[in-house]
Chain A
Amino acid sequence: DAGVIQSPRHEVTEMGQEVTLRCKPISGHNSLFWYRQTMMRGLELLIYFNNNVPIDDSGMPEDRFSAKMPNASFSTLKIQPSEPRDSAVYFCASTSPYQETQYFGPGTRLLVL
């Protein structure tokens, strides 16, 4: 059974460019979480969805960040415009209503120059 899939695995871009990160949750999971991990701030929850609906976006740093989940099998996290301080590893995780455990994707390592 495939785990959480994220793409791209690595992204290098220049300041001001738009960045789109993608996530495919585990089939049957109805909750999806976006995290950001940096050395300074550790692991931060940015936003999460239940049944494709955003429930809590209080962790989204600012208006430059947006996330969507158009269907149960796909979500995007967009940064526009990107800034060097957005450089981090971005994780997507999912869970089902019958489990308490979140399963993480491999992460996207973003570097904004």
Chain B
Amino acid sequence: AQTVTQSQPEMSVQEAETVTLSCTYDTSESDYYLFWYKQPPSRQMILVIRQEAYKQQNATENRFSVNFQKAAKSFSLKISDSQLGDAAMYFCAYKQGRDDKIIFGKGTRLHILP
């Protein structure tokens, strides 16, 4: 069965600095998608970035980028120029290509220090 592991329950970063959140996953499939979702204190689940496994190029969205290491089954999220509004719980998630369900990690709570 596929699993998603986020080994860092909490992290802190100074405002304007860069932080990397770790995620590893386990699958024997070749067709899949990976996601990072952000959940701020409002509880709304917001898609931050997604990566298709067949794409070698790492996805980027403004200050957010991923380091997708397919062989290592690693999918880390880098946040550059951290802002106070980035404080949230971040969930890594996996979806098998032909499946409908998404498997979520336990989350990493990110604190931004002013």
Residue of B nearest to A43 (CB): B104
Contacts A91-B45, A101-B47; is A43 near B101 (CB within 8 Å)? Answer: no
If A104-B45, A109-B43 touch, whether A42 touches B104 (CB-CB below 8 Å) is yes
**Roughly how many angstroms separate A37 CA and B91 CA in the complex, as a whole number?**
12
Interface of B is mostly: strand
Q: Which 9 A-B pairs have the closest CB atoms?
A: A104-B45, A100-B33, A43-B104, A107-B43, A106-B44, A42-B106, A31-B100, A101-B47, A89-B43
Known: A42-B106, A43-B91. A93 touches B45 (CB 8 A): yes
Contact with A along B81-111 (1 / 0, CB 8 A): 0000000000100010000111010110000
B100 lies within 8 A of A55 (CB) = yes
Q: How many angstroms from the CA of A6 to the CA of B75 in the assembled complex? A: 31
In the complex, are the beta carbons of B104 and A101 less than 8 A apart? no
The CA of A107 and the CA of B44, in the complex, are separated in Å by 7
Interface residue total, chain A, C-beta cutoff 8 A: 22
A80 at the interface (CB under 8 A from B): no
Q: Does B95 lie within 8 Å of A100, measured CB to CB?
A: yes
The interface size of chain B toward A, counting residues with CB under 8 Å, comes to 19
Q: Which residues of A contact B (CB under 8 A)?
A: 31, 33, 37, 42-43, 45, 48, 50, 55-56, 89, 91, 93, 95, 100-104, 106-107, 109
Contact between chains at A101 and B43 (CB < 8 Å)? no
Q: A102–B107 Cα gap in the complex (Å)?
A: 17
Pair B44/A56 contact, Cβ less than 8 Å: no
Within the complex, the shortest CB–CB distance from B56 to chain A, in Å, comes to 18
User: Taking the nearest CB of chain B, how far is it from the CB of A84, in angstroms?
Assistant: 20
Provide the residues of chain A in CB contact with B91, threshold 8 Å. 43
Nearest Cβ in chain B — how far from A36, in angstroms? 12
Could you tell me if A101 and B44 are in contact, using CB atoms closer than 8 angstroms?
no
Known: A43-B107, A100-B50. 5 other contacts (CB 8 A): A33-B100, A89-B43, A101-B35, A106-B42, A106-B43
Pairs A–B under 8 Å by Cβ, sample size 17: A37-B43, A42-B106, A43-B107, A45-B102, A55-B100, A56-B100, A56-B101, A100-B50, A101-B35, A102-B102, A104-B37, A104-B44, A106-B42, A106-B43, A106-B44, A107-B43, A109-B43
